[in-house]
Amino acid sequence: VQGTLRHAAQAELGGAGGARLLGDAVTVLDVHGSLFYAGARALEASLPDPTGVHAPVVVLRMRGRVTLGATAFTVLAGYAARLEVQGGRLYLSGLDPRLFDAFHHVVDVDVQRRMRVYEAHPTLGDSTRQALYDAEAWLLRADPDAADVGSTTRPAPMARAWRWVRHRFSDR
């Protein structure tokens, strides 16, 4: 299937073998297949639904992609908006330098605010590690009690940190 995902880390498997997002946690997913035309729509259909999940953060591994079609940009922007509504954020890692530049020149400033992009490094996994590190740091700074779900201000950072630690290491 084109434009599909493979669960990589920190997600619970949901129905039909797909990843299910965890609240206040980072989910890393590999993107496989073409992201042109129908492949981008297949990706959209296979992305985990963030509805009802508090502060879901997703890192999509995009390694090996040199270009993306307009449909893929639309799908990613839409998914970033859906995550933002729940207080989450989208991170894209492993972007080819030309694709990385395209995000900063082609993508709307409002969309850039909703997602973070990381250029591929020569060492496999480095950009994903950086995205994961930044995503976890962003989660610790995010305010779970803010009226604006997308807010990144934090009146009580230690309470947020302890909540994250309890969630991450609890017996589920």
Whole-angstrom Cα distance, residue 30 to residue 41? 16
How far separated are the first and last CA of the chain, in Å rounded?
32
Comparing 14 with 126, the larger pLDDT belongs to 126
Tokens of 98: 């030309």
Q: Hey, how many other C-beta atoms are within 10 angstroms of the C-beta on 24?
A: 21
Between 70-85 and 38-46, two packed helices, what is the crossing angle to 10 degrees?
20
Q: Does the structure show a pLDDT above 80 at 12? A: no
Q: What is the pLDDT of residue 120?
A: 92
More confident residue, 166 or 47: 47
Percent of the chain past pLDDT 90, that is, above it, reads: 45
Contacts of 41 (CB under 8 A, 6+ apart): 3, 71, 75
For the entire predicted model, the pTM comes to 0.74
